[in-house]
Amino acid sequence: MRKRKIGAAPGALALTALTLALLGACGGGSSNSGSPASSATSSAASSSSVASAASSASSAASSSSGAASSSASSITAANACTVLASDGSTVVVGSGLAGDPAAPEAASGYRTGKTTRYAGSFMVTSASALASKAGCEILAAGGNAVDAAVAVQAVLGLTVPEATGIGGGAFMLYYDATNKTVQAYDGRETAPAAATENYLRYIDDASDQTTPKPSARASGRSIGTPGVLRMLDAAWQDHGAKPWKGLFSNAITLSTEGFQISSRLASAISGASSSLSRDAEAKAYFLNADGSGKAQGTTLKNPDYAATLSAIANSGVDAFYTGSIAQAIVDKVAQSTGEDGSVMTPGKTTLADLAGYEAKRRTAVCSTYRDYYICGMPPPSSGGIAVAQTLGILENFDLGAAANLPTSYDVEGGRPSVQGVHLISEAERLAYADRDQYVADTDFVALPGGSWSAMLDKTYLKNRANLISLSASMHTASAGSFPSSSVLAADHTPEQGTSHLTIVDKQGNVVTMTTTVESSLGSFHFTKGFILNNQLTDFSSAPADASGTPYANRVAAGKRPRSSMSPTLVFRKTSAGGMGDFVMATGSPGGSTIIQYVVKTLVASLDWGLDAQRGTNMIDFGASNSATTSLGGEHPNLDTSNSGANDSLITGLKALGHTVSTSAQASGIGSIIRMTVNGQSVLAGSTDPRREGLVLGDTVTP
């Protein structure tokens, strides 16, 4: 099987000169004496040791620190985390000056011309320029990846509240470069102690078996106990270097002084104005006096969020989970009448639910793929298992064969081939079939055999691969059979929203984290300056199918709903089949399609040799377990005119029996790859052209 270097795709265009070169600080700064003590033992991830032939990336850095080579350009601290405009002038992110990447842009669906950014020793990519700046400044001042993640999340909750916030949940993978271990952190929301299996479908199990009002999503029933802050605190207690209090300064300042509403947030507000009007605090914050949504470019100040963050900064996360903030959350969940007089079904969250919430340290799902060792998130996320299964199935095909390679390469990622999309989509159908039937919160429902080992077994995945025809789509797949599995029904509950961030620090530690309030603007409930999630709608609303066969993902008190979030770490595989040097970190928002976005990105870089940004840019494609295969119609390399009849990728898939959807996709991929360019070890970063993100770091030009 032919081997390719990351970023060295055959026929790819040479990198164009950067018109917006990112600058970062060269300076360090030691850990403050107020740093946390390490209080938990990181567990090394386990994996199958079965080796397989593969394509390989360019050499990873030999040092675990990931420090830049001596040839890297030295940048002064005065220019920390700024950008250069095309005329060479320095622009501070958030300044509002010409060339400021934080300035709102008109929504386009896809921003052309984005190219890979390179850094010498640290980098952050997120869906908000202001959030990336906050994280970059922490890294430039000597903070580590976890410190930066706290700062990034705090700002995302302000600038991207339609996707994420402290009223939601998250999953994080952390790579400790010193100990060479991977730790998974679970900050998924939980159902309240009073929840029954019918919590989302009946107002009352006995006396009122009608749907919650005005809908399950917009009622208090959808709101899970938020987990992201407890999760970040757990990771910071284990690994943080900088004082907790200082990590919120940037977000507090922005909340007080204001930020400009982006096109994406403006669109979300406009589309949800009637729902937001039911909540007095949401109405006052997001809407104008006439009930219309506040427009793109409006300066939005959030003093309530500043006060909430100040309390958390000064008193720790207990200030959120107890006291006045917790009481405000409980009161909001219990709201029974909307601001507009409408009836609202209250939720049953209590102060005890909040005070008792626990973030979980879990073992990452790790497996081998060709020359790589890849780690993902374990249940209650289905992402790690589904991504690993898809790759394990694809390992039985030569994706480097001519018929499977992209048919063209350009700065937008080129065009995947019909056969390449076919194979990957079919593999995803098989993985989703297992996901839908077997994966849920394993604290409540066990996986077949009690772990993911059976689902990732190489022989099992080879047998699944044998179900794929090269000449026709299977349309829908059946779940695999396991001798020790419970009888469960397939649950196809959709998921929405989310945001993603990826960070590498000077020591080579890595955070990849996906964070969410579920649907756009969550439950539309707003308190103390932040949106409350509607995460519980990720459960199956019914406990069983029509025949009475139970769903693994049914509601239960204290249970965490299944997710598709797929923060992913890639390492070189050692000769013994274990974890070697760090190669790549990635992830994406996108609800249940996250799995497809992450698989596309991994294959694009690891098998097809695309660099970080081109692998992100490439046409989004994939399938869940249905007859429909998606191709992102927002991409300029796809011709959707005449119902796709003029595009060979669309017509080729249809000829294989695929039902093709060209609806616009909303991935938000953020990747960082450690690679060697011209003999220099660098970090290569991307942000998705379908969203409003930015990569920042101590930039070099290798």
User: Distance (Å, rounded) from C-alpha 670 to C-alpha 689?
Assistant: 10
Position 567, amino acid: P
Q: Indicate which residue of 115, 390, 498, 593 is catalytic.
A: 498
Contact, 667 vs 599, CB < 8 A? no
Average pLDDT value for residue range 585-597: 95
498 is catalytic: yes
* pLDDT tens-digit series, residues 61-98: 333 333 333 333 333 444 557 676 666 666 767 766 66
Instruction: Give the bridge partners for 568, in sequence order.
Output: 586
Mean of pLDDT over the chain: 88
User: Distance (Å, rounded) from C-alpha 308 to C-alpha 280?
Assistant: 18
Say yes or no to pLDDT of 35 above 70: no
The residue extents of the domains of the chain are 77-389+493-618+669-699
Say yes or no to pLDDT of 142 above 60: yes
Q: Indicate the pairing of strand 579-586 with strand 672-677.
A: antiparallel
* pLDDT tens-digit series, residues 404-458: 999 999 999 999 999 999 999 999 999 999 999 999 999 999 999 999 999 999 9
Say yes or no to pLDDT of 525 above 90: yes
User: Residue 93's pLDDT is what?
Assistant: 78
Collapse the DSSP code of 200 into the 3-class scheme (helix H, G, I; strand E, B; otherwise coil) and give the result: coil
pTM of this prediction?
Answer: 0.89
User: Residue 101's pLDDT is what?
Assistant: 75
CA distances from 595 to 106, 113, 263, 381, 624 (A): 28, 25, 26, 11, 9
User: Residue 540's pLDDT is what?
Assistant: 95
Which tops the pLDDT comparison, 236 or 61? Answer: 236
CA distances from 443 to 163, 378, 531, 560 (A): 27, 12, 27, 9
215 closest CA partner among 338, 43, 360: 338
Say yes or no to pLDDT of 653 above 80: yes
Confidence of residue 18 (pLDDT cuts 50, 70, 90): very low
* pLDDT tens-digit series, residues 247-267: 999 999 999 999 999 999 999
Lowest mean pLDDT among 44-48, 202-206, 611-615: 44-48
Find all residues with CB under 8 Å of 356, minimum gap 6, and list them: none
Contact, 513 vs 170, CB < 8 A? yes
Q: Which two tokens stand for residue 578?
A: 């274990």
Average pLDDT value for residue range 204-231: 97
Say yes or no to pLDDT of 49 above 70: no
CATH architecture of the domain formed by 77-389+493-618+669-699: 4-Layer Sandwich (3.60)
User: Residue 102's pLDDT is what?
Assistant: 74
